[in-house]
């Protein structure tokens, strides 16, 4: 069953999703640092196989990634060039000093961490001034069920749990407030679903937000 779901996910949506997400996220990060030569240090939290981070870097070579997730690295990957930038963490406390990075990314991660998402956001704001979040907005019970089905296809095969519910605009704002972060930019219509899914799934189920540590927050 798990192998079937991984195959279905890869064949249907995976590469389309990675390409569109990487372009949108890379663009948001570059906008934060208009000087074209600046090296931007970025941390991808919940990086999965790191494809999003690596695709962003291949289009934006000045963005340099460290990556972290909750999984132990399999022994055969230890010491390989690709996985040198990966570090496991416990899912709550990021193992990095204050202000170690320019930006932290959560790409389709925070809904797996509800209701503790504001704690992770606060951690992100501790290690970087800017936080980029790609996630989903549910718009009612039907969209919640749809998102859960898509999460099942996209994640269950990789051993990632399917959440009970998702953010809506109010709960995301509340999480950001509780984390001491200000939402600077919100793109609440992200055209990611490929045809024919795009005919039935509203692109408003996806959002991309840029947050900044609030001025009064000290790290
Ligand atoms: C849908 S995958 C996203 C992977 C990758 N970011 C991407 O966009 O392709 C969700 C990821 O969140 C990670 N995750 C789950 N709980 C987490 C937590 N508490 N902290 C960080 N990552 C977590 C999972 O291990 C998984 O890699």
pLDDT in tens, 66-123: 999 999 999 999 989 999 999 999 999 999 999 999 999 999 999 999 889 999 999 9
Query: Which of the two residues, 194 and 77, has the higher pLDDT score?
Result: 77
Please state the domain extents for the chain: 2-213
Tokens (6 digits) for 173: 């704002």
Nearest CA to ligand 1 atom 1: 108
Interior/surface letters 63-80, b for 16+ CB within 10 angstroms, e for the rest: bebbbbbeeeeeeeeeee
Q: In sequence order, which residues have a C-beta less than 8 Å from that of residue 27 and are 6 or more positions away?
A: none
CATH architecture label of 2-213: 3-Layer(aba) Sandwich (3.40)
Q: Is 53 in the pocket of ligand 1 (CB under 6 A)?
A: no
- Helix (H/G/I), strand (E/B), else coil: 41: strand
pLDDT in tens, 24-41: 999 999 999 998 889 999
Q: 197 and 20 in contact (C-beta within 8 Å)?
A: no
pLDDT in tens, 143-157: 899 899 888 887 776
pLDDT, position 13: 56
pTM, two decimals, is 0.91
Kindly give the number of the ligand 1 atom that is closest to the alpha carbon of 151: 1
HSE, side-chain direction, 13 A CA sphere, residue 105:
30
């Amino acid at each position: 069953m798990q192998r079937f779901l991984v195959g279905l996910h890869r064949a249907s949506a995976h590469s389309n999703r990675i390409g569109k997400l990487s372009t949108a996220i890379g663009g948001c990060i570059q906008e934060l640092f208009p000087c074209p030569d600046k090296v931007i240090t970025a941390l991808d939290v919940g990086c999965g196989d790191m494809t999003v981070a690596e695709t962003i870097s291949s289009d934006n070579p000045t963005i340099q990634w460290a990556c972290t997730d909750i999984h132990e690295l399999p022994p055969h990957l230890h010491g390989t060039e690709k996985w040198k930038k990966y570090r496991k963490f416990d899912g709550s406390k990021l193992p990095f000093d204050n202000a170690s990075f320019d930006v932290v990314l959560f790409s389709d991660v925070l809904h797996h961490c509800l209701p503790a998402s504001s704690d992770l956001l606060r951690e992100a704001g501790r290690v970087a001034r800017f936080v980029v979040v790609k996630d989903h907005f549910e718009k009612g019970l039907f969209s919640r069920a749809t998102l859960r089905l898509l999460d099942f296809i996209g994640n269950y095969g990789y051993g990632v749990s399917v959440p009970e519910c998702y953010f809506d605009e109010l709960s995301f704002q509340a999480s950001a407030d509780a984390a001491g972060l200000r939402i600077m930019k919100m793109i609440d219509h992200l055209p990611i679903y490929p045809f024919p899914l795009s005919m039935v799934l509203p692109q408003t189920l996806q959002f991309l937000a840029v947050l900044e540590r609030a001025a009064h927050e000290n790290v």
